[in-house]
Chain A
């Protein structure tokens, strides 16, 4: 468990919003493509404009995808779920309320594993996005324009438990979550565009305490994982200073200022917001039976962890290589397509993909394999070369040889590195086998 080094411990929970890339919007038939829209307010209708008489009709795909994400995050799917109205006024919210989920979200109680430990998922729920405000000058007048192309786009909110104990763990968690979403192929999950939005809640407590701190600071406007790390580090330092002076940081919302790497007060939260939630009367509740949940579960593709294990066992890859190749579905698919073409070893394919950072979206697997095949024929290394290089490495590194014989496995890796430095086309497996043979 990471301490701040000052007798305090970080307590971080995250709220993540992800726009789903369904064809149509959450509650109407309008096109869901706000970022590529050629003009503002073209993907709109009475429903997403909040006209009188417009009624929301839920998008079945969005509901399925939300449940799919919940299942992938190890959540329990609630048999009875419903939408609620979250009432508040803002010009980008045409109905004066957002259709969201309050006390019966689709998914609850999941968990995501990070190298630093598990992060609990409190809930995954579905809601609608708002329009977008644009503050600008027209004819010298300061005006605010509203674009409703984004109004009513399906938005999933993922809320974690306050289980994150370091900035690095926040990064690991987010990378993992991003990878899962990307594997499920349900969102562009692009932080620059805002299709994935990150809001850490950051506070500190005395190290060793298991009580939740009496305050939390929410940080908004963060559009990359590195900025989450920076924001947490900055907040941690800022809050330590206040706590050390005997103060308690204000419960507030702060904005992250990218250019300075600092956070600044946006809005103080002296009282809790009152959104006057009540069940959305325009949408009947959902009864999700086991059969439905199973059918959604069946739609989940092979997830990163399963794929990694399979790559190691099926293709004889190292865990390190398999991890890189399963980073994205596109990479993994490219690898498997290339292997299926045949003629080159899976290891050679993996090596080339990793070392040359192949652009898997812009390259044809067949071309890639052909090129690799031709090259390997040209550069096939004769057995004598292996012999010569291995002998030379052993002779010129007596210390490493001694270490290896004393039982230090890392010394073998050092020798392999020396051999590969002399001749890059050597197959590492051959080199290791040769070294082991020579060294007995």
Chain B
């Protein structure tokens, strides 16, 4: 056993008991990174001060090494968002999330690869080469937080941080067989994160277990004076409620009758998960899919692709305007194909004469999804589904497909448009490919407690989480 394979909570317990030293743990992490990073391309940069910072660290994270997606600004450490435009940019300030992690005794071990500007769901659109899926290197890790999910899967860190606009935490978590938590929009500060879709971006933890994510969530969540969209409602202690179980909970299964899903492994795995919850005392039922807004039914995610694409591209086109090469980084000629496409589409949908047809219409449909979830969360405590239509796709699958990400993320786009939280936990492993599927557990806004209880109950009562398997460690 090597120490890098420990979960965050295991490592903290063993450190407290002085079963090993931080130096030994960093030695094992360094070894894993040295041997695997050349092939997996998980880290874009490594913090040379990590061990020194670990020795000085003080707080609940005990100096443990964390992998952070490269769109979080880290003072004095390169931050590129995987784009050549930001090559050579050394941020003069720190993102709120990484600042809180550091203050909690966390150490930023390195910055992880991602789709350039977070535009994608494959990590193939990185200007610095794709990341490979550690579970099967012929496959994509998903994205955009593909580097962070792969770092966790490959035990190249103890836990990681990613960010999600729609799917960018949960889809790679699902494909890499790890746990990814997307908080309620506004729960975790976006300050100091390279903006993508500003009305959707939600930073969150990616970890080996639900418990690890629960711990990290508590350390990064909460109102931030530097982000006016953060809510000042109290942050729930997910670690305290995670083992409360699902007895008496009302759970709805959604999207399994969607044509992309019906009859697939995803369909089977999610329904099987429903049975697990039922056996633990929850009331589980399938929520019928509907083509139009109807009470008690889930509105098809098909429209969300259009809505999400229009809203997000509009915000992207405006958010990328600042990269003009005047103050930092390189000029606009370094933008990649996908960024250029998004800038053009976003500019078009906001233009006079078109805004009514696209942007404003999209916002109207967005409000239908919000209404739909409002109705459903009056009936159910949580909704379960899948973060993505299927298994990881082979390397190269995203090339030439500008809508690749939207198709991968369509199952989470409606809930993301509504600002809802969700968590993906491993729900199945295909024995022939070693590829994973994830179970997406969604709750109403600010109700992360409910989804963490279900996620934890599922993880504890099944054998799908590779780190919790009997005999591990």
Contacts and interface: CB of A to CB of B under 8 A. Distances in A.
Given A52-B91, A53-B195, A94-B322, A276 B79 contact: no
Interface string A260-291: 00000000000010101110011110000000
B351 A276 contact: yes
Interface stretch (A43-51, A234-242, A356-364): A43-51
B393 interface: no
Contacts of B359: 278
A284 B195 contact: no
Contact of A52 (B73, B314, B317, B318): B73
Contacts of A348: none
Nearest to B201: A281
A281 B350 contact: no
A95 B198 contact: no
B345 to A, nearest CB: 12
B470 interface: no
A281 B227 CA distance: 11
Interface stretch (A55-63, A302-310, A427-435): A55-63
State the majority secondary structure of interface residues on B: loop
Contacts of B326: 91, 94, 146
B92 interface: yes
A97 interface: yes
A343 interface: no
A46 B352 contact: no
| Interface magnitude class on chain B | 35 or more
A281 B324 CA distance: 21
Interface string A45-89: 010011111111110000000000000000000000000010101
Contact of A282 (B81, B228, B347): B228
Given A55-B228, A57-B227, A96 B191 contact: no
Interface in B224-240: 225-229
Given A46-B93, A51-B327, A96 B351 contact: no
Contact of A96 (B199, B321, B328): B321
A95 B321 CA distance: 6
B46 interface: no
Interface residues of A, number: 29
A52 B86 contact: yes
A366 B330 CA distance: 64
Contacts of B324: 89, 91, 96
Contacts of B197: 281
A312 B91 CA distance: 62
Contact of B347 (A56, A276, A281): A276
Given A52-B322, A53-B193, A87-B321, A272 B352 contact: yes
Interface in B321-350: 321-324, 326-328, 347, 350
A91 B325 CA distance: 11
B198 A96 contact: no
Interface in B61-104: 73, 79, 81, 86, 89, 91-93, 95
A284 B229 contact: yes
Contact of B352 (A91, A274, A282, A283): A274
B405 interface: no
B414 to A, nearest CB: 18
Nearest to B352: A274
A55 B318 contact: no
Contacts of A272: 352
B372 to A, nearest CB: 21
A104 to B, nearest CB: 14
State the majority secondary structure of interface residues on A: loop
B228 A52 contact: no
Contacts of B190: 53, 55
B459 to A, nearest CB: 33
A89 to B, nearest CB: 7
Contacts of B315: 278, 281
B93 A282 contact: no
B43 to A, nearest CB: 20
A98 to B, nearest CB: 11
B228 A58 contact: yes
Contact of A284 (B228, B327, B347, B351): B228
A49 B326 CA distance: 11
Nearest to A28: B226
B420 to A, nearest CB: 17
Contact of B227 (A51, A55, A58): A55
Contacts of B229: 55, 281-284
Given A50-B327, A51-B93, A274-B351, A87 B228 contact: no
B194 interface: yes
Contacts of B79: 52
A283 B227 CA distance: 8
Contact of B350 (A50, A56, A87, A96): A87
Contacts of B195: 52-53
B321 A57 contact: no
Given A96-B318, A274-B351, A278-B314, A51 B225 contact: no
Contacts of A97: 318, 321
A53 B95 contact: yes
B193 A283 contact: no
Interface in A152-188: none
A95 B347 CA distance: 15
B318 A85 contact: yes
B321 A52 contact: no
Nearest to A271: B352
B120 interface: no
A50 B228 CA distance: 16
Contacts of A53: 73, 91, 93, 95, 190-195
A89 B317 CA distance: 12
Contacts of B81: 52
A18 B368 CA distance: 40
B355 interface: yes
Contacts of A94: 322, 326-327
B350 A278 contact: yes
A305 B199 CA distance: 46
Nearest to B350: A276
A87 B347 CA distance: 10
A276 B344 CA distance: 12
A294 B93 CA distance: 40
A282 B228 CA distance: 7
A82 to B, nearest CB: 12
Nearest to A86: B318
Contacts of A57: 225-228
Contacts of B226: 55, 57
A49 B314 CA distance: 22
Interface in B119-147: none
Interface string A197-218: 0000000000000000000000
Nearest to B314: A278
Nearest to A47: B226
Interface string B347-363: 10011100100010000
B198 A282 contact: yes
- Tell which of A51, A97, A277 has the most Cβ of chain B within 10 Å: A51
Contacts of A284: 228-229
Contacts of A87: 317-318, 321, 350
20 contacts: A46-B92, A52-B195, A52-B322, A52-B323, A52-B328, A53-B73, A53-B91, A53-B95, A53-B192, A53-B194, A54-B191, A57-B225, A57-B228, A87-B321, A94-B322, A276-B347, A278-B314, A278-B355, A282-B227, A284-B229
Given A46-B192, A55-B226, 14 more contacts: A50-B327, A51-B322, A51-B328, A52-B79, A52-B322, A55-B190, A55-B191, A55-B228, A94-B327, A95-B321, A276-B355, A278-B355, A281-B315, A283-B229
Interface of B: 73, 79, 81, 86, 89, 91-93, 95, 190-195, 197-199, 225-229, 314-315, 317-318, 320-324, 326-328, 347, 350-352, 355, 359
Pairs A-B, 9 closest by C-beta atoms: A96-B321, A281-B199, A276-B350, A281-B198, A53-B192, A50-B322, A52-B194, A274-B352, A57-B228
